[in-house]
């Protein structure tokens, strides 16, 4: 069992997403530590890419700010190595296929292992193309986390059976961003996932309020929040650690309120 599943040991998980280097890497470190202190169970660290295909304006903005500040993949590796001196919760990278590809998959994943990254999420890597990266991920013990969207109905079972780490369920159609409506058949989607894997599953895309988080955590094992966190960072810049911490605290409390009938341990 990978370290990632430890994130789901303490009840429902809250998973924030943070773009590395927005506004700078020192602030990112502060934010990560503050999020951990306030109950984050796993953190998704975004490696910025200039041409992402699944990001809404908020996260695109974070990418632009981070890249303008001169962040590079190597600098992010150094930052994570530094974080790992005291941060023990699972950490995963979220980035795009090109970033791994351009760095060299073997080099990238061996670095991940070396600095203590537990998994990677590549939203533009379709399930059918996983073979390109999977052997290298296995070689270095880094989970390649699969995304499942409401549209991929006939593929949900197949993807679930082959999944590693946890299952990232995309709440609704469209790019990332905060929204008020969610795909109505999420419960049945989660149900199909449950039938095919014992891995925990978390729901992301468009979650912002504690009410959303409670709702999502009642359906699945956790909630993932990106854009709402990035908005706080956008607003407070270098002083974002404290307000992000407070937000994480409120969201962790919200997911703990959820009482799903089905748990990951079932």
Partner 1 sequence: MEFNNIDFSTYFKNYPDDKGYFGKYGGSYIPPELQAAMDEISEAYQTICKSSKFISELRRIRKEFQGRPTPISYLERLSGKLGNVQLYVKREDLNHTGAHKLNHCMGEVLLAKYMGKKKVIAETGAGQHGVALATAAAYFGLECDIYMGAVDVKKQAPNVARMKILGARVVEVTDGLQTLKEAVDAAFDAYCKEYKDAIYCIGSVVGPHPFPMMVRDFQSVVGIEAREQFLSMTGELPDAIVACVGGGSNAMGFFSGFLNDPVEIYGVEPLGRGTALGDHAASITYGSEGVMHGFNSIMLKDKNGDPAPVYSIASGLDYPSSGPEHAFLHDIGRVKYDVVNDDDTIDAFFELSRMEGIIPAIESSHAVAYGIKLAQKMGKGSVLINLSGRGDKDMDYIIEKYGIR
Query: Please, which of residues 80-119 interact with partner 1 by CB under 8 A?
Result: 96-99, 101-103
Residue 207 is a binding residue for partner 1 (CB under 8 A): no
The residue among 103 and 247 lying less far from partner 1, judged by its C-beta, is: 103
Q: Count residues near partner 1 (CB under 8 A).
A: 40
Considering only CA atoms, which of 55, 186, 58, 171 is closest in space to residue 124? Answer: 55
Q: Which part of the chain contacts partner 1 (CB under 8 A), choosing from 109-117, 121-129, 187-195, 213-221?
A: 121-129
Can residue 196 be called a binding residue for partner 1 (CB under 8 A)? no
Contact at 8 Å (CB) between 112 and 145?
no
Integer Cα distance of 192 and 157 in angstroms: 7
Among 9, 26, 37, 50, binds partner 1 (CB under 8 A): 50
Q: Which of 9, 37, 53, 198 binds partner 1 (CB under 8 A)?
A: 53
Min separation Cβ 139 and partner 1, Å? 21
Q: Which of 24, 124, 162, 234 binds partner 1 (CB under 8 A)?
A: 124
Query: Could you tell me which stretch among 19-27, 171-179, 194-202, 247-255 binds partner 1 (CB under 8 A)?
Result: 171-179
Other beta carbons less than 10 A from residue 242's beta carbon: 14
67 lies in the binding site for partner 1 (CB under 8 A): yes
Can residue 193 be called a binding residue for partner 1 (CB under 8 A)? no
Residues that bind partner 1 (CB under 8 A): 49-57, 60-61, 64, 67, 72-73, 96-99, 101-103, 123-129, 147-153, 170, 173-175
């Amino acid at each position: 069992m990978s370290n990632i599943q430890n994130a789901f040991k303490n009840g429902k998980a809250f998973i924030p997403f943070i773009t590395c280097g927005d506004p700078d890497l020192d602030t990112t470190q502060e934010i990560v530590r503050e999020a951990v202190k306030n109950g984050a169970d796993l953190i998704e660290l975004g490696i910025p890419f200039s041409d992402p295909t699944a990001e809404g304006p908020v996260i695109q903005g974070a990418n632009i700010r981070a890249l303008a500040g001169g962040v590079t993949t190597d600098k992010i590796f150094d930052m994570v190595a530094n974080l790992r001196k005291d941060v023990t919760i699972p950490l995963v990278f979220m980035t795009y296929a090109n970033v791994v590809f351009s760095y060299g998959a073997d080099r990238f994943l061996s670095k991940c292992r070396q600095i203590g990254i537990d998994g990677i999420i590549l939203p533009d890597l379709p399930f059918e193309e996983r073979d390109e990266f999977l052997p290298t991920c296995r070689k270095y013990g880094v989970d390649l986390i699969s995304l499942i969207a409401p549209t991929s109905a006939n593929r949900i079972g197949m993807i679930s059976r082959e999944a590693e780490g946890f299952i990232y369920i995309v709440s609704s159609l469209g790019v990332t961003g905060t929204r008020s409506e969610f795909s109505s058949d999420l419960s049945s989607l989660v149900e199909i996932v449950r039938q095919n894997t014992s891995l925990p599953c978390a729901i992301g895309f468009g979650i912002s309020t504690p009410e959303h988080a409670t709702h999502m955590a009642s359906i699945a094992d956790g909630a993932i929040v990106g854009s709402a966190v990035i908005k706080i960072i956008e607003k407070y810049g270098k002083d974002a650690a404290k307000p992000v911490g407070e937000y994480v605290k409120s969201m962790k409390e919200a997911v703990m309120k959820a009482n799903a009938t089905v748990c990951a341990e079932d």
